[in-house]
Structure 1
Amino acid sequence: MGEDVRSRPVRADARQSIARILDAAQSVLTGDPSASMEQIAATAGVGRATVHRHFPSRQSLLDALVEDLNARYRSAFERARVMTGPPLVGLYRLTEMAFELKISHPFVIGLTPTAQSAGGPASDPEMQEGLERLFVRLHGAGEIDVDDPAWCRRLYVALLHEVHELPSGSPALAAATDTPADGVGARVELLVRTLLGALGGSRRRAP
């Protein structure tokens, strides 16, 4: 019992150090993708040895950044209540959070050539399954006609990437909403309108 009590502050300190290092890495590498581990350590306010203790290599740090982004996507999925609330509302909430993560984590999003598979719904099996369950719910609610959740998920992920890449002055964003076209809301509205239009649904057939 005594050993467990003594070990808890160490584990908490380690988690805090890892969180600081990951936040620093995201910030430093966004500005300079070739930045050294020493620069990351300085920004995190820890010693170089601390960084290397948690991340023995640069690749291990990059892998941890991707996993951290995946964890944030999974958290967003839960907070959006896509499995318990109205599915269309969940789609809007999840999409908003996904765009916010893309904006706040540009380095990790850009780690792979396609940028779509650097963490998140494109590469995480748990998120893939969750998205497909969401599209099953959307189909059951009559929001979409297409009864192929895997295809719906792939289309959604592709749209996330393409809409994220649109410049803020894009006519497509300006036409999507009355809100400022450079905000997240315009991107969410454009994606959801485009997605539902492509997948059909009884709501769009109603007079």
Structure 2
Amino acid sequence: MGEVAGRPLRADAERSVRAILEAAERVLVDDPAASLEQIAAAAGVARTTVHRRFASRQALIDALAASAVRQLARAVDDGRPDTAPPLVAMHRITADVLQVKGAWAFALGLPADPDSETAELQREVDRRCVVVLERARAEGLLAQDADLDWVRRVYYALIGESLRDGADGADGADPDALAARVVETLLHGAGPRG
């Protein structure tokens, strides 16, 4: 977080921005057309506070998307994709990503301008995912001829389905149980064990 419009924030201002972004996610996931006034009310701040921090509704939405993708990137980095054993990294990253995606569904579902910070961060997340998959392939967890871009896209789809399935209560929305299910399905499919 730390800055808005290129300016560093004081601790109280940073808390205010965090509250606004969290409220924006809650409000916009239910009503994508919600006004800045509705977001301000949900954040417990004055409308002028929102306008002081964000020049427009679009600026708020852009900041929301960037913040969510930064959290997603941190979740991937926390799983140590370059150094942890690939299976451990895959599980940890998956569990953390499920939590971030569950908490920031609206923001992470927004399309990003290809030249934006958000799009660049998403490309970095994709690259880090492929690093883990390359390491998994090197350890024999994936077929040597596996198309890793395809595997990454299937992995993302499994995460999306787990969130929808978890919301329906199949695994009680436990991130570790959902992560185990995603990784197991990615590595072994749905066929019998031989």
- Pair in the same fold by TM > 0.5: yes
Instruction: Give 1:167 deviation, angstroms.
Output: 5.9
Report which stretch shifted further, 42-51 or 188-197: 42-51
TM-score (normalised: structure 1): 0.73
Residue in 2 that maps onto 1:117:
none
1:9/1:133 CA distance change after superposition, 3 Å: closer
Letter in 2 for 1:135: L
1:41/1:150 CA distance change after superposition, 3 Å: same
Q: How does 1:22-101 map to 2 (within 5 A)?
A: 22-101=21-100
Number of equivalent positions: 180
Residue in 2 that maps onto 1:191:
182
1:151/1:75 CA distance change after superposition, 3 Å: same
Letter in 1 for 2:175: V
Summarize deviations over 1:58-105 as a string: whole Å, max 9, x none. Answer: 222112111111111111112111211111101001111111122222
Q: How does 1:156-175 map to 2 (within 5 A)?
A: 156-166=155-165, 173=170
Q: Distance in 1 between matches of 2:32 and 2:9?
A: 31
Report the identity percentage: 38
Structure 2 spans left out of the alignment, 5+ residues: 1-6, 112-117
Residue in 1 that maps onto 2:18:
19
Aligned Cα root-mean-square deviation (Å): 3.1
Q: State whether residues 136 and 149 of structure 1, in contact with CA within 8 Å, keep that contact through their aligned partners in structure 2.
A: yes
Report which stretch shifted further, 136-145 or 99-108: 99-108
Q: Distance in 2 between matches of 1:182 and 1:15?
A: 30
Q: State whether residues 133 and 149 of structure 1, in contact with CA within 8 Å, keep that contact through their aligned partners in structure 2.
A: no
Letter in 2 for 1:35: A
Letter in 2 for 1:105: W
Summarize deviations over 1:117-145 as a string: whole Å, max 9, x none. Answer: xxx99x70110110111111111111111
Summarize deviations over 1:146-201 as a string: whole Å, max 9, x none. Answer: 4433222122112211222226568xx5xxxxxx5553333222211111025xxx
Residue in 1 that maps onto 2:140:
142
1:37/1:181 CA distance change after superposition, 3 Å: closer
Report which stretch shifted further, 141-150 or 153-162: 141-150
Q: State whether residues 72 and 101 of structure 2, in contact with CA within 8 Å, keep that contact through their aligned partners in structure 1.
A: no
TM-score (normalised: structure 2): 0.77
Q: State whether residues 26 and 105 of structure 1, in contact with CA within 8 Å, keep that contact through their aligned partners in structure 2.
A: yes
Instruction: Give 1:41 deviation, angstroms.
Output: 1.5
Summarize deviations over 1:6-51 as a string: whole Å, max 9, x none. Answer: xx99543432322121011112223433322112112323322221
**Bigger Cα Rg:** 1
Q: Distance in 2 between matches of 1:152 and 1:74?
A: 19
> Structure with the greater relative contact order (CA < 8 A, sep ≥ 6): 1 or 2?
2
